Amino acid sequence: MSFSWTRVEAIFRKELRDYRRNRFVIFTMSALPLLFIVLTMIQLFAINTGSSAKLNDRIGISMLYLLIIPTMVPSALTAYSVVGEREQGTLEAVLITPVRSEEFLVGKALAAFTPTVLIAYALFGLFLGAAELFAHPGVLSAIFERSHVLVQLLFTPLLAGWSIWMGIAISARSTDVRAAQQLAVFASLPPLGVVALLSFDVIPASVALALGLAAALLVLDGFGWRAVAAIFDRERLITGSRD
**Cβ closer to ligand ATP: 208 or 243?**
243
Start-to-end CA span in the chain (Å): 30
Pick from another protein, ligand ATP, none: which does 97 bind, CB < 5 to 8 A by kind?
another protein
Q: Any idea what DSSP says for residue 147?
A: S
Q: How far is the CB of 168 from ligand ATP (least distance, A)?
A: 22
Q: Which is nearer to ligand ATP, 1 or 235 (CB)?
A: 235
216 binds, among another protein, ligand ATP, none (CB under 5 to 8 A by kind): none
Q: Which residue number, 208 or 235, has a Cβ lying nearer to ligand ATP?
A: 235
Q: Which is nearer to another protein, 112 or 217 (CB)?
A: 112
Residues forming the site for another protein (CB under 8 A): 1, 4, 6-7, 9-11, 13-14, 17-18, 21-22, 88-100, 234-235, 238-239
* Site of interaction with ligand ATP (CB under 6 A): 239, 243
Smallest gap from residue 112 Cβ to another protein (A) = 17
Burial string for 46-77 (b: 16+ CB within 10 Å, else e) reads ebeeeeeeebbbbbbbbbbbbbbbbbbbbbbb
Phi-psi region of 176 (alpha: psi -120 to 50; beta: other; left: phi over 0): beta
- Least Å distance, CB 165 to another protein, is 22
**Minimum CB distance to another protein, residue 93 (Å):** 3
Whole-number Å distance between alpha carbons of 121 and 114 = 11
Q: What element of type H or E holds 15?
A: helix 5-20
| Beta carbons of 188 and 69 less than 8 angstroms apart | no
Return the amino acid letter for 223. Answer: F
